[in-house]
Structure formats: structure tokens, C-alpha cells
Structure 1
Amino acid sequence: MTEAQRLNIGDTPPAFTLPNDQGSTTSLSDFAGQQVLVYFYPKANTPGCTKEACDFRDSLSQLNDLGIKVIGISPDPVAKLIKFREDHELNFPLLSDEDKSVMTAWGAFGEKKNYGKIVQGVIRSTFVINADGTVGMAKYNVRATGHVERLLREFNAA
């Protein structure tokens, strides 16, 4: 299995500007000077992705209190992201990376194991970008259930 190029702590992540669920675009540079958590997920309105998104929604005030903004990115078209946001009252930006170029550049798309088979797909991943624009946390192949709770424990322990 070939490994996708991965980001490491201290790296400068690839810049992006993507369409969002509000009818405009969101860029990584919009968060310059702030901490931002960028998470990549495979597909809106599937059980795991819904659980993870709702956990971020329910924990957003705690994350914001720590000075962390949240962005979710998937390969879904904008119309599907709008429905996902509305269905689950999501309170953070959802971005569309339909050609998977940003996911690929961040190491969040490539070969992975799915039910024992090697397939190409979205690698559920989470990154924290520090206020100075460098990667402060990079987690690949995360499990949707309990992920946000684990992140909060790590942030509060730091």
C-alpha cells in the first residue's frame, strides 16, 4: 500500500480556497493569526460522518473557548453540504473539495483499507493549524465516534 504524502507537526499546510455551504468561498488564509481545526470526512449524512459533525457542533463552544475555529471538508457538492448543515443544524463552515485536490495535498485522500480491501478514498483526518500558520496537530485514520472527545482531552491536557 503506497502512503499518501502526509503533513507533520511544524509543516506549513498547502493553502486552499474552496466553495462553502454559505454560497461563497473559504480560504485557509481567512484564519491567519488564529488556530483552526480542519477535518476531512468522506461523505455527508452517512452515520460516521454525521456523528463526527454533530460532535463538533456540540463541542464548538468549548473549542472556541480554547481559541480554535472548526472547518469540515468533504468531496460532497455544495448542495449536499447545505442539506447536511440544515439537517443537523451544523454551526461551522463545510467546504466542498469535489476534485479532492486539497485532500490529496493534505494527505487525506489516497489508498486505505476498507473492510480488508485496499481502496482509494478519503482518509478521515484532523489537523490543527496554529496561529503562525504551521501544523500543530496532524491525525490520520481517526475514528469518528469519540474523536472530538479525545481531541478535547488532548487540548485541555496541553
Structure 2
Amino acid sequence: MFEQIDGTVQAGYGVASGKAEHSPYPKGTIEMQTPIFKARGLDLTACFPGTLNIDISPKRFEILAAPYVFRDVEWAEGFAPENFSFVPCQIIYQHQSFESFVYYPHPETKIGHFQNPSIVEVIAPFISGLKYGDRVIFRADSNQIKIFD
């Protein structure tokens, strides 16, 4: 069974991709983290080095069982280690499906960055033509993700 919901792509903070003007990570967090996740068993090199922020409001989501959980990831000098979970998902845009991953930095280890509980951060391959405001379908295994009011 799958959880599936329509969502809208929206702008994020720009830190993951390195586009934020005042980010302490000029290359972006995803580019910095990708080799670490690969060494731990998750290869994201085929994905765009940033996140898609998919607004599913008024719904929210919860990770029930993440196949990839990385604890105490030290990825940036001078910053405390963080925990991350990843769940395989699909993003459907203009009738094409893109194999992707929910990217979930655990809030208890990610000090200083608030993420709206109705925003699903996704690491996906580059999707040509996709822009802020576009509608997509988010789909994931219902044993791994729960979508609720």
C-alpha cells in the first residue's frame, strides 16, 4: 500500500542547495553530506544536490520506519553531529515518476532550523521544467510514511 498526496513545490531556505545568501555552507549541505551518506550505504550521487520542498498542507507526515537512519553524522566542522533518516519515495510530475528519497534531518539534532511539519523535503534527480508553485504527487510506502491531518 502507498500513501499518496498532491503537493506544491515551494522555495526553501536555500541552505541545502547552497543558494542562500548568508549560508555557512556555500557548496550546500547536500553536496557536503552526499559522500558521507554514500560511505554509510546510501548513494545519492544521481540526485540533484539540493532538496525539493513539497507542501502537503493542511496535511502533515510522520516517518514510521526509515530504511536508512544515520546517527551522529559529523558533516560540518564546528557543528554538532546530526541524525538523518531517508525513506524511498516517488515524485510524479507531468505523468513521469522520479525515484527519490525523503530527506529528514532529525529536529532534535538540527538546532536552529525549523521545518514546517507540512513540508516534505525530498532529494530527487534533476527534474527538467519543475519550478516553485508546480503541483506534484508525492508517493511513499505506507509502512514507512504516514500522512495525516
The two structures share one fold, judged by TM-score above 0.5: no
- Higher strand proportion: 2
